[in-house]
């Protein structure tokens, strides 16, 4: 299971990559494997205000519909439009090309509610 | 309830299949990816474990056993070596199960039924059949080979004569030192074969098939997307005891010339006209309609979705559902809704996928 050390993680299997006052969001390798082939992604709009741990996107696989939760609060500044026609990027490259959105971080202290890679790995082991 | 495992369970685990409960069984949903397994079936050849399905033998001629009254299809015209698709109905014309009848001999018939209703089917048969009913499901393994290459691949093991087996016919072939019943049937829309063999031989047959690199295992996930692209109904979802063959648009599998349980209600329904009908629809996006979503026309709720998925072959959503009869017309625009989800769709003729090798 690929869990990059440079990211922070949620219990719902989302990741966030913090760069300056922005954060890039996606779902983890574990999440994409559990979902199976992703066939459709409903993304937020640029300008939408996300709130930590609230739903902001929907991912559909052949078998299921899953909500995606925001790792941190903030305004959406960019969404990954390639996912509209190539949702399989989430399976192929969950941490790179399969990113979902970039937000402007509203409250940096919220990152204390997230897990480090090490903590997320342990969390997955406990879940299993 | 304890989940049952098929004789191939160890094989699925070794292949790291994703397993999930289905009709009381722990079954492989996918081995690598549903989309990959789907496409492989459409272009090459896939192997399915369908051991969960039930096989029941009925002894005696249909008129002495009473089988004729319990199934919807015309048994009188059937020659030995033929399969026939139809239904077992309740007194109200509701579908107890859909099944395939195999005429093994004038006085020996095999019913192949779904895993979910098997116990109910067996009890119903034992109540009404006047001769011997034998449930051989536990000792019988069933494997399916499906795909345009299936016949060519099979020839190396069973010989050229497999090429003479016609659609919806069966014969016995020598395989692994056994006489194996092979029928040219399936539920994928592709050329394909179903194999009935002693349970203890299941692993050997599975391994034999996979020894040819053109054959890959496929799970129930792909089985579902394949059958949905053909518009084939799934028992328990698209057809149930609450729906009749007429409502499901499957009246052609009912022989009204004979007497059978449920006939009276169906005749009345045919006379008065049905109030709702199972239709197929295609969505205008990659978003899939799903079981239980509601169907609207111009703001009015007119039905519900019974099956739906992303179609790997068409790259859009497809599905089936019941709508009020006045809206059951080809090209009718529908709005499918569930919570925040809204999907535009149009009623289309089935099969949705028209490139299948089924009749080749």
Q: What is the location of CATH 2.40.30.110 in chain B?
A: 275-348
Chain A neighbors of B288, CB-CB under 8 A: 39-40, 60, 62
- Architecture of B55-136 per CATH? 2-Layer Sandwich (3.30)
- Hey, how many other C-beta atoms are within 10 angstroms of the C-beta on B221? 26
pLDDT of residue B322: 98
pLDDT of residue A58: 96
Q: What is the location of CATH 3.30.70.1400 in chain B?
A: 55-136
Please name the fold of domain B275-348.
Answer: Elongation Factor Tu (Ef-tu); domain 3 (2.40.30)
CATH number of B9-51+138-229: 3.30.1360.120
pLDDT of residue B272: 97
pLDDT of residue A25: 98
Q: What is the location of CATH 3.30.1360.120 in chain B?
A: 9-51+138-229
pLDDT of residue A71: 98
Single pTM value for the model: 0.95
**List of residues 6+ apart from A122 with CB closer than 8 A:** none
For residue range A74-109, list pLDDT tens digits in order: 999 999 999 999 999 999 999 999 999 999 999 999
**List of residues 6+ apart from B144 with CB closer than 8 A:** B47, B48, B50, B186, B187, B192, B193, B194, B195
Distance CA(A28)–CA(A4), nearest Å, equals: 10
Band of residue A127 on the pLDDT scale cut at 50, 70, 90: confident
Q: How far is CA B132 from CA B42, B61, B262, B326, in A?
A: 40, 11, 23, 46
pLDDT tens digit at each of 360 positions of chain B: 789 999 999 999 999 999 999 999 999 999 999 999 999 999 999 999 999 999 999 999 998 999 999 999 999 989 999 999 999 999 999 999 999 999 999 999 999 999 999 999 999 999 999 999 999 999 999 999 999 999 999 999 999 999 999 999 999 999 999 999 999 999 999 999 999 999 999 999 999 999 999 999 999 999 999 999 999 999 999 999 999 999 999 999 999 999 999 999 999 999 999 999 999 999 999 999 999 999 999 999 999 999 999 999 999 999 999 999 999 999 999 999 999 899 999 999 999 999 999 988
Reported ipTM: 0.89
- Residue A63 and residue B34: Cβ atoms within 8 Å? yes
Confirm or reject contact between B128 and chain A (CB < 8 A).
no
Best residue of A40, A45, A48, A63 to probe chain B, by most B CBs closer than 10 Å: A63
- Give how far B34 is from chain A: nearest CA, Å: 7
User: For residue A64, what is the nearest residue in chain B, using CA coordinates?
Assistant: B290
Structure tokens at B48: 């399915």
Q: Which of A39, A42, A91 sits opposite B288 (nearest CB)?
A: A39
- Residue B310 and residue A40: Cβ atoms within 8 Å? yes
Q: Which of A39, A63, A91 sits opposite B286 (nearest CB)?
A: A39
pLDDT of residue B131: 98
Res. A128: pLDDT tops 90: no
Locus of tokens 């397993």: B19
CA-nearest of A95, A102, A122 to A47 is: A102
Confirm or reject contact between B225 and chain A (CB < 8 A).
yes
Query: Which option is the CATH number for A8-108+115-127: 2.40.50.100, 2.40.128.690, 3.40.800.10, 3.40.50.150?
Result: 2.40.50.100
């Amino acid at each position: 299971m690929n869990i990059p050390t440079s990211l922070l993680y949620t219990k719902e299997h989302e990741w966030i990559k913090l760069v300056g006052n922005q954060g890039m969001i996606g779902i983890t390798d574990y999440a994409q494997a559990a979902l199976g082939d992703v066939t459709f992604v409903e993304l937020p709009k640029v300008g939408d205000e996300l709130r930590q741990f609230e739903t902001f996107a929907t991912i559909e696989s052949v078998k299921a519909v899953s909500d995606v939760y925001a790792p941190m609060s903030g305004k959406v500044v960019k969404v990954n439009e390639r996912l509209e026609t190539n949702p399989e990027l989430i399976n192929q490259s969950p941490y790179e090309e399969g990113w979902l959105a970039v937000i402007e971080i509203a409250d940096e202290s919220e990152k204390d509610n997230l897990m480090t890679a090490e903590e997320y790995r342990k969390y997955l082991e406990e879940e299993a | 309830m304890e989940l049952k495992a098929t004789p191939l369970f160890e094989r699925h685990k070794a292949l790291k299949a994703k397993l999930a409960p289905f009709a009381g069984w722990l079954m492989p949903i996918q081995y690598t990816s549903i989309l990959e397994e789907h496409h492989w079936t459409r272009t090459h050849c896939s192997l399915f474990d369908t051991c969960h399905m039930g096989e029941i033998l009925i002894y005696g001629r249909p008129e002495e056993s009473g089988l004729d009254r319990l199934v919807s299809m015309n048994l009188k015209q059937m020659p030995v070596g033929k399969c026939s698709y139809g239904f077992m109905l309740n007194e109200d014309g509701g579908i107890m199960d859909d099944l395939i009848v195999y005429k093994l001999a004038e006085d020996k018939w095999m019913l192949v039924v779904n895993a979910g209703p098997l116990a109910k089917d067996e009890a119903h048969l034992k109540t009404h059949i006047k001769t011997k009913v034998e449930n051989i499901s536990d000792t019988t393994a069933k494997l399916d080979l499906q795909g345009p290459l299936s016949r060519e691949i099979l020839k190396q093991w069973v010989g050229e004569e497999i090429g003479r087996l016609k659609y919806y016919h069966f014969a016995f072939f020598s395989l692994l030192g056994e006489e194996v019943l092979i029928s040219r049937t399936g539920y994928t829309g592709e050329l394909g074969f179903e194999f009935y063999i002693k349970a203890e031989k299941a692993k050997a047959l599975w391994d034999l098939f996979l020894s040819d690199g053109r054959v890959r295992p496929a799970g129930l996930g792909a089985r579902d997307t394949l059958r949905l692209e053909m518009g084939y109904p799934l028992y328990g979802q698209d057809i149930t005891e609450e729906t009749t063959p007429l409502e499901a648009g499957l009246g052609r599998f009912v022989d009204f010339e004979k007497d059978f349980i449920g006939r009276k209600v169906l005749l009345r329904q045919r006379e008065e006209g049905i109030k709702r009908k199972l239709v197929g629809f295609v969505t205008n996006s990659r978003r899939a309609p799903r079981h239980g979503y509601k169907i609207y026309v111009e703001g009015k709720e007119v039905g519900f979705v019974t099956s739906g998925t992303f179609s790997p072959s068409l790259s859009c959503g497809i599905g089936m559902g019941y709508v009020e009869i006045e809206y059951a017309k080809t090209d009718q625009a529908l709005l499918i809704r569930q919570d925040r989800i809204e999907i535009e769709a149009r009623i289309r003729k089935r099969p949705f996928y028209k490139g299948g090798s089924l009749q080749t």
